[in-house]
Amino acid sequence: MGGGGCMGGGGGRGAPDAGDIQRFAQRYPLDEAAYNYLVNSPPDVQMTVLQSFSPPRQGESDYSALLISFAKRCRQGMPMGPGPAAQQSQQQQ
């Protein structure tokens, strides 16, 4: 399995800064699509990925697929915020 388990939110500590994400990408090389997926993820998902991503093997040349899979699981585990999509979904039920 790639990347270990998504352990939930980042504890509400805010979004990691660009330097945190750059250091992560240097440690775990990513292609542009995976990098953009991470950068465009909600702040709690970004923090969780940076803190909890633990691939089974170190030293790989590309962690893109593992990272996207892990981040996607984290995104799916996050509660929807009170945005228009969440309100519309609740009204339809």
Most distant pair of Cα atoms in the chain: their distance: 48
> What number is the average pLDDT over the span 64-76?
94
Chain segment 10-65, per-residue pLDDT in tens: 445 567 888 999 999 999 999 999 999 999 999 999 999 999 999 988 899 999 99
Query: pTM of the prediction?
Result: 0.71
Q: Is the pLDDT of residue 84 over 50?
A: no
Query: Residue 77 — pLDDT band, cuts 50, 70, 90?
Result: confident
Phi/psi at 73 (nearest 5 deg)?
A: -60, -40
